[in-house]
Chain A
Amino acid sequence: MATATAAPAVLIAGNPNAGKTTLFNKLAGTKARTGNYPGVTVDRRSARIDVGGMSVELIDVPGTYSLAATSPEERIAVDALLAEPPAAAVVVVDATALSRGLYLARQVVETGVPTVVGLNMMDEARAQGLEIDVPALAENLGVRVVELVASRGQGLDELRRVIAKVARKPWRERPLRLPELVESVVSDVERVVRETGTTEGASARVWALWALLSLAGVGERDENDVPDAWRAAVAKARVDAATLGLDLEGAIIGARFARVDAAVDAAVRRSPAAGPTKTERIDRVLTHPVFGLVVFAAVMYVVFESIYGWADPFVGAIEDAVAWLQELVRTGLPEGTFRDLLADGIVAGVGNVVVFVPQIALLFLLINFLEDSGYLARVAFVIDRVMRSVGLHGKAFVPLLSGCACAIPSVMATRTLEKRSDRLVTMMALPLMSCSARLPVYVLVIGVVFAGSDRVFGVFSAGALALFAMYVLSVVATLGAAAVMRRTVVKGPVPALLLELPPYRLPLVRNLLGTTWQRVRSFLVDAGTVILALTIVLWALLTFPRDPAAEAQAERRREAAAAYLEGADLEAEYAAVDRQLASSQLAHSAAGRLGKAIEPALEPLGMDWRIGIGVIGAFAAREVFVSTLGMVFGAGEVDEEDPGLRARLRSATHADGRPLMTPLAGVSLMVFFVLAAQCMSTLAVLKRESGSWKWPVFVFAYMTVLAYGASFLVYQVGSALGWGTA
């Protein structure tokens, strides 16, 4: 129970799409705080507000159709209600889908919590010809009902007044009446629940009904943490019911709906519909076999363009700002380890975090717009047939598509999937999508190993064909990985698609900005700190230990040069010395030694230790591969089009004199980059979104094995057949 010092808690519950978020935002104003429900990655939003002279803690419960639960995510609603009993609950009900919303309200009422039904979207209901006699509905349901149009703030004063009134009332259980035979079976479970205790707040009977609907049967599984005695009692009750020819679930759910339907029948008059609704007219186009797919493709293109193209100027500006700041540190501070740590560790690390913000913000603005408008459900509806074939949910399409631009916002975008198993499969497969950071790697390698005039079958340019093949490989690998994971790591049948297609509605700017900011904030705070820490670790690996011998030699060369060169020649010589020193230092560093240590493992892939250092450096972000190679090969700071680096790579050889970058070795290297989890930011965000280190570790392991295996196969089979080895 709420203690005397804390404000009484008031829950806001309701079906998805019932306008719960809008209502919460309107009531909370600027006082909303975002936290996390323990153990699951679901935002917990709350706000301390005043209602009718009393201070209450408003808590937003994730949208749900029922209190029954098989997963920790679904448990949130019932735990919020029963584990820490609140003073009151508001159930937001969409007046146009009355009986479905009242079914949830009925379950809440049964627990005994003082309840208010917020009858939302009354304007839409009237427009559809629904006349609702609100006092009659309240009378029949035995709860207070307040009419709302939350989007326009109508009914809020009345709602606040009623909340203040009911929050002062004690809990009063209102049990569900069941047929006598069913009652006898339920009471057996109820007795066991009472004997095993742990039923603070709600009664044993409420928990018994909950357990009968929520606990899995033989050969099925659920993730509820309940006493074994409950499971045994439920199993026995099911056997008893079967013997008596009873359908327990049907009886319990049917009894609730019978109450609800009686109340609705008594209170609602329907005038004949005046032709198809607005939503129906829109859907005739948006889900049309031809136009539907055209619109789908166009909308998906806009999503893609937003993170690929629109975000680019912002990303560029952030990168420039970071470079400027690094330069400022380098010129402003005395030479030394602290300066390097600040410039290359901390400033670079903060840059590595902030650089993702434009993509995350743009993607979430769009996704939230699609979701709130109702189109996201249609995206799932239109594409589900394809996604289902690899065991994915229709809603997984948008995250996978945005994975072509960047995995970080895409992993976060899997939040639109309600089922945890769907989310896990999607977020673990999508790092295989070829993100935009891989492109500089492909461009560099293709530029080195293929000449512009190389042709395959006389028509295809070899470089273009190789690039195309990498994208095909990434799509095939992503879908294949999803299909395999659905059969192995995330076992169990493909969850059914039970997807509400909500009416089309104009999203509220306030909600869009609010949800987008939540996502950005959660990324900065949770994933950002990990990315910053990893950047500093990686910087240290690439910097220490230093090589005093190389430093001394560089100093001697500088002195020698100063003695007989001057002007531009001297500057050029200094630059050459610096490049040489950077290359030696890198070879001497922990990462360099690691590169040499793993060289025997890289040889069969056609790589040497220098490429190995590049691969290690690429862990900061894949495109860093290019600049790391620039340092290793003494070409200085370069980009993927740099002729100097290309020339050095072309002439580079293995220790025994064989050329390093043959076409085959190049393809092998690209295949490695398509499949490897070379991105610490992805792993950090996977940790944040899956709630444990277990999944990013798994992703890193499976992708590394996959990348190594595929690259090995390419190089070895290719070598044996004599392809592209010279």
Chain B
Amino acid sequence: MTLRELGELPVGTEAAVERVEGPRALRRRLLEMGLLPGTVVRIVRRAPMGDPLELRLRGFSLSLRRRDANAIRVRAAAATSAEPVGAEATAEPAPKARAAERTSLPA
């Protein structure tokens, strides 16, 4: 199974956290915000200048820079129909289109 870096996923994707890497202090803070294995995260949008990202998890919105978000490795679970998940993920079950809370921003 291919793991992907969270920061590289297109906007609209939902993914389950598989593991968190990165420097100890960052890793601890990410875990304590609830980014634990199994937690489902959605990429809501990117900031107007492309970075940072807005994530939605556990009922709240969190902003992370792409670089830091890449410490989070995920399994892409579902994406909007607007954005193909990408070549590496085709081994996964076909991305399921989700109508709810889709955003209109390009990745």
By a beta-carbon cutoff of 8 Å, the part of chain A in contact with chain B is 65-66, 68, 70, 94, 96-100, 103, 213, 216-217, 220, 222, 249-250, 253-254, 257, 273, 276, 279-280, 283-284, 287-290, 292-293, 377, 380-382, 384-386, 388, 394, 493, 496-502
Contact = CB atoms under 8 A, between A and B. Distances in A.
B79 to A, nearest CB: 18
B58 A381 contact: no
B59 A96 contact: yes
A394 B31 CA distance: 22
B50 interface: yes
Contacts of A292: 48
B31 A253 contact: yes
Contacts of B41: none
Nearest to B26: A496
A249 B25 contact: no
B25 A498 contact: no
Instruction: List 5 A-B pairs, minimum CB-CB distance, nearest first.
Output: A385-B49, A97-B60, A501-B61, A499-B63, A496-B68
B44 to A, nearest CB: 8
A216 B68 contact: no
B63 A382 contact: no
Given A289-B48, A292-B48, A103 B32 contact: yes
Contacts of B27: 249
Contacts of A497: 52, 63-65, 68
B28 A253 contact: yes
A12 to B, nearest CB: 20
B65 A287 contact: no
B107 interface: no
B34 A100 contact: yes
B88 to A, nearest CB: 25
25 contacts: A65-B33, A94-B60, A97-B58, A100-B58, A100-B59, A213-B28, A220-B24, A222-B25, A250-B20, A250-B36, A253-B32, A257-B34, A257-B36, A283-B45, A287-B47, A288-B105, A289-B48, A384-B51, A384-B52, A384-B63, A385-B52, A394-B52, A498-B29, A498-B33, A498-B62
Nearest to B34: A100
Nearest to A386: B49
Nearest to B28: A249
A175 B59 CA distance: 27
Given A381-B54, A497-B52, A500-B62, A70 B32 contact: no
A99 B68 contact: no
Nearest to A97: B60
Interface string B46-80: 01111110100011111111001000000000000
Contacts of B51: 384-385, 388
B60 A500 contact: yes
B12 to A, nearest CB: 13
Given A381-B52, A382-B47, A100 B33 contact: yes
Contact of A249 (B31, B62, B104): B31
